[in-house]
Each structure stands twice: as structure tokens, then as C-alpha cells.
Structure 1
Amino acid sequence: MKIASNSIKRGLAIGAIALAAASLSQGSALSQETTQINLISAPFGTGSYVMGSALEEISKKSDIGVTITHSESPGFVFNIKKLDNEPELKTNTIVGSGGGVQGLAKAGVEPFDKKYPGFKLIANYNLNSSWLATLDKNIKTIEDLKGKKVAVGRRAQINWAIQPVAILRDGWGLSDKDVNIQYVGTKESVDALLDGTADAAIVGGYIDPVSDRMMLSPQTIEFLASGRNPHHLDWGADMVTKAREAGVSMANVTIPAGVDPTITEPMAGFADSVAWMVAPEFPEEVAYKVTKLILDNIEKFGEYQATGKLMSPKGMIYGWDPEDIHPGALRAYREAGLID
């Protein structure tokens, strides 16, 4: 009985130690609670959706104390309206957005029904650039499009329709009477050029203006692989600037020669940010941690999406002024020496 009694005592002692360890572990876990953040991006299958999923997975493998849960959305316009309708989301939600759509929202112009407050930048994850191509040898500049049919993306597409049309109108001064704009879609636009129902069509891709690296969009690659010999039209740096000053947000960039064999000279173009953004109410410390997470893991995004290989630290803030960046993110960029 004495041996049994001692065994019981030893068992109780071990149990007490285990219980104390578990309690200590639980207390430690509680002291390092993870902040849960939502991310709504864009429709399933888009590049923005894939990049959002990448950020979620990278956050879950990190130990920064912030976990991101990603879900799809109908698109960037929807994201702005959703946070306006559900203000409680402003403190815990990152959204897919960009400079172009932000400018339209703040101005309250189509596709928006009123003026919406602006978001603050966390980081660009893509920069989209597009221009016009033609198969007509007589069309050498944008001015030669007078009286011609120009196929672009759908009306609500910022990069593939709204911004290019703004350069035509506000930059080059070409009205609806001068140019017949056809809003058909990105793939449909190059199809129209190939079958002769359009004289020029929108093409383009994704660019890192810091390194001059570029990746063409799928429909552009398909078009250029058709064996035809297109001529690419230079937007003109001054015309891009005019369109921006008229109210449509975009940045000047140079399309590098050689991104395709048919692009033999650098072209003046524009770029629009495709970015993760937050409301001003978003917590500063969380914004700081998320931005640091992206900076520290920037090389990993290329493992999820080809365009992720174009990400660069300086590219994450390209086209934005410091006042457009969330204070928490700004602190991370200043620590990294990217902003004075």
C-alpha cells in the first residue's frame, strides 16, 4: 500500500506540473493573440484573386501576430461601396483597389453613383499598362485614328477602357465624333482587330517601372502570336499628363523596347496601380506589420502568380505621394529607406 501511495503522489505531482505548464502555455498564447484581418480582392481566377490568396498564405506562415483571411469579390468598385455601406469593416479589412478607381470614387463619376472617401495605400502588387495597336500601315500615330473604330475593354474596366479613353479625349482632344470607341472587352478587342471590325485595339500587360521589366497580358500574347505585324501607338508623355490633370489618376511610364519583337522602340505610356488598400480608420500597427510582411516576403509572390515576379520594394509605392499611404505602411517604408 505504501508503494501504491507513493505512486499516486508521484502521479499527482506530474499531473500538477503538466497542468501548470499547460496553464503557462495558455497564458503565453493569450498574451500573443493573433489579429484577424479580412481581405476582399476581385473575382475568382483573376490575378488579383491569386495575389490575395498568396498574401493570406504568407501571413499564415509568419509569426507577426496578424493573420489574413482572403475572399473574392465582384471587383474594385464593389469593394469601395461595401466598406461605405458597412463602416464596421473599415478597421479590419484590406481591399483590392488602385489609383484609377480611387480617383473615380472620390470624384463620384461613373461607375460610381456619388463621391466616396478615399482609401490609403498598403502596397502595389501590380502596375497595369495598356496602349493601342493597329494592323493598318496608314495609322502611325494617335492622330491618325480620326474616323476610325477603336476597340477597348468594357466600360467599367479602369485600365483597359476608362484610362485609355481619357487619354484620347483629354490628352489628344479626340471626341466621340472623331473616334468610334467600341467597348467590347479585352479579348474581344483584339479579336475585332484581327477580323477587321476594328482599326485599333487595346493591348498591354503588367510592368515594374523601376526595373523596366514587363509581362504581357494573355490576350496580348495571343494577339502577337497570330503572326501579324502590328504597329504600336505611343500615347505621348504630355498627353498622359494632360489626362491625369483632367482628373483620371495614372502615372507616366516607359514601355520598354523588346518586350515583344514588334516593339522596337521605347514608348511613352501610362500605368495604374493595382493595390492593397485600407480605410484611414485601419489600425496603424496592423498596417505596419502587414507592410513589413510584404516587404520581407516580396520574392515569394512570384511562386503564386507570374506577375508576382514583377513586384519590387520601390514598385510597391510607385505613383503614390506619401500622403496617400497609410501612416502604418509609411512607417514601414521609411524604415526600409524607400521614403525619406
Structure 2
Amino acid sequence: MKKSVLLCAGPRKNDEISSKKGEVLMKRKKLVALLMAAAMAVSMLGGCGADDGKSEDASNAAETGDAEPDKEEAKDDAGEESADSGSGWKSDPDHEPYEIEIYTNAQGGATYVLGVAFADLINKYSSWLKATAMESPGPDQTASMVLADDNYKEHVMGYMIGVDAILGEDPFTEPNYDLRCLIGYGLVSNVFLTLDENIKTLQDLDGKTVALRTKPNVPAVDIPTKMFEVLGIEPKYEYLSFADSATALADGKVDAILSGGMALNAEATEWTQMAALAEVYARNDVYYVSLDEKALFEAKDALNHSLLPGVMTLEPGQYDSKFNDEVTIMADYLCWYVHKDFPEDVQEELLNIYYEHCDEFAEYKDEGRYCTKDNMGKIDTPELISDVAKKFYEEKGIEVNYRETPYETYVPK
């Protein structure tokens, strides 16, 4: 029994001993912990001083150019990557929905396709703005519609020629200064085209039948007519649509037509001809008759209709890869216009979408390669630039082709 009791009492005594040992150990552990904490504090203080020294040394090294090259390159690469990632613009998802229409020329042409492309990009990248591309019989007709209808003033962007409205040319009944140029998106040309290899100069067109465009059209009727007058040349004129003039040339009913082309790339060193001329080019050898630069400027000044850039002389093969002579053309920028009452927030949305995604225009048509950030500011009448666009281009560092001496006639009243 005692043995049993002793056996039972033994563990109880060991527990008491263990408890006392535990108390001693706990006291020792607390002491060790305190010592370790003190040591860590000292180490941290020393470490902070060491880090500061290293930071200062690194800063000094960077200032003296002693920093490690690979780290500097990595830093530069990161900066470039950040810059290339975009401006950080995002469409506002909380903005009230808004709808616009984009008026172009007739279906099938480059201006129509690029208008469709812009509508697609707007619908793709804006969270609140919706756009629909619409056909138009011409830029002046679109401008007349916008100027006459209050709803269109706030909901339509389109290809227009602001100078025609300023001058009060037909179909405008009086001068109007209410259009505003927003975005430049193309460069088009006018030059005479013939199938007669013996017609090499403008003088060779004296007494010949020449097809100009349908009236009213200052760049494609009034200016070339005035140019011939300045040169003392007297052709016979037909006024035809572009498609009809191409047919008349192919059928031999006219000796030359005022042909048009459009720049294919941002530098305007590659050009394409209008789709209506495809059959003419496929079946015939064609020849270009260069315009007279001096007479052309005199004609423009006489009509007070100085569209930009005005005159360009292209190297052999640039305007047409099969034509091995220089060609002097009349060139004008294409521009999307809005009315002065067009909402400013919508203008900003349009500018940002074009700026961020202009490289996608080339996916719709080759002429879309001209659409770049730098070319946004190349507009036909810079005196009519929208205040919103002017501020946007200044902030983005995009150059606008302002005239050195603005024409007083073009300055909005």
C-alpha cells in the first residue's frame, strides 16, 4: 500500500520540482529576452545610420555618374515604358450618355471609310459617347445643314471646308464664322490627268476640253479656272462629278480632268488615286499635268481662298509609282469640323480617342496611315480652330500649322 502511495506521491513531488525549475527558467528567459531586445535596438540604431549612409553614398554616386550602369539603364527603361503606356486617359463611366453623327462624303470613298472608322473607335473606347457615320453629298452641304439646324449644331461632326462658309460662297447665302476645326485627318490633291501623251503642260490644254468638278466648288472649279486665266490659257470647261469625269475621259469626250488623290502615309511621300479612276488606270496609260505654282498662288490670293498646305511638288514616283516625272499638285488638308456650340466635353472625348487610337485607322483603309498624333494639328483653316482643340494640342505638344500672317477675312468676328 505504501509503495502504492509512494508511487502516487512521487509524481506530485516531481511536478513541484518541475514547477520551481520552470519559474527559474522563465525568469532566465525573460532576462535573455530583455538582453536580446536591447541588442536588437542597438543594432537597429546602427542599421539606420548605415542605411542613411548608403542612401547618401548612392545619391552622391548618381550625381557624380558613379552609379552602376545596369541600374541606371533599368531606371531609364522603366521611365520609357511608363511614357509609352499612354497618357492615362480613360473615358468617364459616370458621364451622361450622348449621341453624335459623323457626316462624310458618299459611301465608298476614303472620307466615308475613315468616318466609319472613327465612329467605330468612339463606340469601342468611350463609355458614354455613341457615334453613327452618315453619308453626305459634300462638305459644303454638311456645313449648310449644321449651320441651319440647332440640333445638328450640338450633335454633328463632319468633313467640311470652313473657308467656303467664311467667304459666303454658294450654297451659303452670306459669310458665316460659326464652324470650328477640330481634327485634321487627311491630305488630298488636285492635278490634271490626261490619256494623251502629247499633253505635257498646262499650255497644251489651251483650246482643249477640260472637266472640272460640279459647282459650287472653290478648290476644284474656281481656283483652277482663275489659274488658267492668270496664265492666259483658255480651255473649254465641263462641270462633272468625279465619277462622270472619269467616264468622260475614258470615252474620249474630254481631253483632261481635274484628278484627285489622297496621301497614304504621314509624310505624304506615298499617294493613291481615287477609287472612281480604278478602271481608267487599269485600261490606259495615264499622264499628269503639273500645276503652275506661281499662277496657283495668284489665283488663291485673288479669290482670298488660301487653303493649306496649298502647293506641293512631289518627286518622281511618289504621286504615282508608274509616273517618272515630278508632279506639282494643289494639296489641301481634310478636317473634321463642329459648330461652335458643340459641347466641349464631347470635343475632349473625341480628341482623346483619336489621339490614343489613331494608329487603328490604317486597319480600315490604307489612307488611314496618314492619321497620326502629329498630323492632328494639320488643318485647312487654323484661324477657325476650336478653343478646346487648341488647348489640347498645346498640352500634347502637337504643332498646329498657323499662318505667319493670318488672313483678316478668316478671323472669326
* TM-score computed with the length of structure 1 as normaliser: 0.78
2:156 matches 1:93: yes
Distance in 2 between the 1:323 and 1:173 partners? 29
The 5 Å alignment of 1:1-340 reads 31-63=94-126, 65-98=128-161, 102-156=162-216, 158=217, 162-173=218-229, 178-207=234-263, 208=265, 210-228=267-285, 230-245=286-301, 246-250=303-307, 251-258=310-317, 259-320=319-380, 322-339=382-399
C-alpha distance 225-255 of structure 1, shift in aligned 2 (>3 A)? farther
**In structure 1, how many angstroms separate the alpha carbons of the residues matched to 2:172 and 2:200?**
35
Aligned residues: 304
Q: Would you tell me which structure has more helix in proportion to its own residues?
A: 2
Distance 1:290 1:64, change over 3 A: farther
If you compute each CA radius of gyration, which structure gives the higher value, 1 or 2? 2
Answer yes or no: is the 8 Å Cα contact 1:127–1:272 preserved in 2: yes
Q: Is the CA contact 1:64–1:289 (under 8 Å) kept in the aligned structure 2?
A: no
Structure 2 gaps of 5+ residues are 1-91, 401-413
2:305 counterpart SS class:
coil
**Which residue of 1 is the match for residue 83 of structure 2?**
none
Match of 2:157, as an amino acid?
I
Determine helix, strand or coil for the equivalent of 1:95.
strand
164 and 80 in structure 1: CA distance in 2 versus 1, 3 angstrom threshold? closer
SS of 1:257 mapped into structure 2: coil
Alignment-mate amino acid for residue 66 of structure 1? L
Q: In the aligned structure 2, how far is the partner of 1:307 from the partner of 1:200?
A: 25
TM-score for both structures, normalised by structure 2 = 0.66
> Contact 1:169 / 1:175 at 8 angstroms: preserved in 2?
no
- Separation in 2 of the partners of 1:322 and 1:49? 23
Distance in 1 (CA, whole Å) between partners of 2:150 and 2:366 is 34
Separation in 1 of the partners of 2:155 and 2:172? Answer: 24
Matches of 2:219 and 2:194, distance apart in 1: 19
Question: In the TM superposition, what is the alpha-carbon distance from 1:280 to its structure 2 partner?
Answer: 1.7
Sort the Cα spacing of 1:118 and 1:128 in 2 relative to 1 into closer, same or farther, 3 A. farther
Whole-angstrom distance in 2 between the partners of 1:178 and 1:249: 23
Q: Name the CA distance, whole Å, in 2 between partners of 1:82 and 1:337.
A: 34
* Pairwise CA distance, 1:175: 9.3
Equivalents in 1 of 2:93, 2:291: separation in Å?
56
Q: State which drifts further: 170-179 or 269-278.
A: 170-179
Whether the 8 Å CA contact 1:129–1:270 is kept in 2: the answer is yes
**Which structure ranks higher in relative contact order (CA pairs < 8 Å, sequence separation ≥ 6)?**
1
Cα separation, 2, equivalents of 1:49 and 1:104: 21
Measured after TM superposition, the shift of residue 265 of structure 1 is: 2.6
Question: 2:267 is aligned with what amino acid?
Answer: V
Q: CA deviation at 1:65?
A: 4.5
C-alpha displacement of 1:137: 4.0
Q: Report the residue type matching 1:318 in the other structure.
A: K
Moved more, 172-181 or 275-284: 172-181
Change (3 A) 1:263 1:318: farther
Match of 2:405 in 1: none
How big is the shift at 1:176?
11
Judged with a 3 Å threshold, the aligned counterparts in structure 2 of structure 1 residues 275 and 320 are, in CA distance, closer, same or farther, namely closer
1:155 Cα shift?
A: 2.6
- Asked whether the 8 Å contact 2:182–2:335 carries over to 1, the reply is yes
Q: CA deviation at 1:211?
A: 3.8
C-alpha deviations, 1:192-217, integer Å up to 9, x for none?
33332212122231025734221211
What is the RMSD of the two structures over their aligned residues, measured on CA atoms?
A: 2.8
* CA distance 1:41–1:188, shift in 2 (3 Å): closer
What's the offset of the Cα at 1:262?
Answer: 3.9
5+ residue gaps, structure 1, are 1-28
- Percent identity at matched positions? 24
Task: Give the AA of the match of 2:305.
Answer: V
- The one-letter amino acid paired with 1:37 is I
Deviation sequence 1:225-258 (CA, Å, 0-9, x none): 2232x33111122233223212334322234421
